[in-house]
Amino acid sequence: MEHKIIVFLPAHNEEASIGEVIKQIPRQVDRYHVEVLVIDDGSRDGTVAVARAAGADHIVSFESNRGLGAAVREALHVSDKLGAELALMIDADNEYPASYIPQLLAPIIANQADYTMGSRFSGPRHNMRIHRRIGNYMFTVLQSVLLRRWITDGQSGMRGFSRAAMRDAEIIHDYNYAQVLTINLLRKGYRLVEVPIPYQIRTKGQSFISFRKYFKHVIPAIWKEYRRPLNQQTQWKEALERE
């Protein structure tokens, strides 16, 4: 049986950068063959064509823009269906280093973690805007308080998953995934390791993040996820899969 990693990229109107990211993804990590999955979140530009030309192995397209949370939820589900033993998410905007994919997956391969996040605040970062730093810090501190453990980069767009974490992960809202996913997995007992990575600000395309909108959607979702009993989490996931 082939050992497989799925590297997935949620993408909405990222034709300017997604091709470069895909070309940088290593196609072999340790004993694992790597395949690339793109979740096209209702793009209206050439994202799909560029991704296909760059070598994406699998592309799933939404008819309309559902949100980053919905895209990541679908990516984890499809990765499992494709038989991935490990999965890794990387943003399509070229802010995160695809060359660090082996480092992100190494703790999972060594059975030291079930879930990894690339930490931009433990490695060199270039020109991160001040409002992004402040927002990241606020939401990361909130996660750390709720989980009673220090996290350095709670909004990282580069994350690795064991097969168990991939299958068990739940994302309860469509707008975003970052905080609720970490709270969900750590409350279930999955082991998290943060891996230092370099970071550079995007030079092409436009971020979807509006601080006011982000705050409005994410804070209620964090609280809902934190307060939700674990048995309700399982019931929610089963109901979602029946839809």
pLDDT digits (tens, 9 = 90+) for 106-121: 999 999 999 999 998 8
24: Cβ contacts below 8 Å, ≥ 6 apart: 97, 98, 99
Cβ pair 56, 8 in contact under 8 A:
no
pLDDT-derived band at 35, boundaries 50, 70, 90: very high
Task: Calculate Rg over the CA atoms of the chain.
Answer: 17
Q: Which among 221, 214, 132, 232 is positioned nearest to 183, based on CA atoms?
A: 221
Average pLDDT score over residue span 202-231:
67
Distance CA(7)–CA(33), nearest Å, equals: 10
The per-residue pLDDT for 239 is: 47
Spacing of C-alpha 234 from chain mean position: 21
219: Cβ contacts below 8 Å, ≥ 6 apart: none
pTM assigned to the model: 0.85
Distance CA(209)–CA(99), nearest Å, equals: 25
**How buried is 154 (Cβ within 10 angstroms: 0-12 exposed, 13-18 middle, 19+ buried)?**
buried
Spacing of C-alpha 92 from chain mean position: 11
Cβ pair 39, 133 in contact under 8 A:
no
Residues facing residue 39 across a β-bridge: 10, 60
Distance CA(95)–CA(22), nearest Å, equals: 13
Of the listed ranges 13-17, 41-45, 72-76, 227-231, the one predicted with least confidence: 227-231
Map out the domains of the chain as residue ranges.
Answer: 4-242
Give the length of the chain: 243
One of 3.90.550.10, 2.40.50.140, 1.10.340.70, 1.10.1740.10 is the CATH number of 4-242, namely 3.90.550.10
Tell me which of 52 and 153 has the higher pLDDT. Answer: 52
Average pLDDT score over residue span 179-188:
93
Tokens of 69: 């949370």
Q: What is the DSSP code string of 204-240?
A: SS-----HHHHHHHHHHHHHHHHHS-HHHHHHHHHHH
Cβ pair 199, 125 in contact under 8 A:
yes
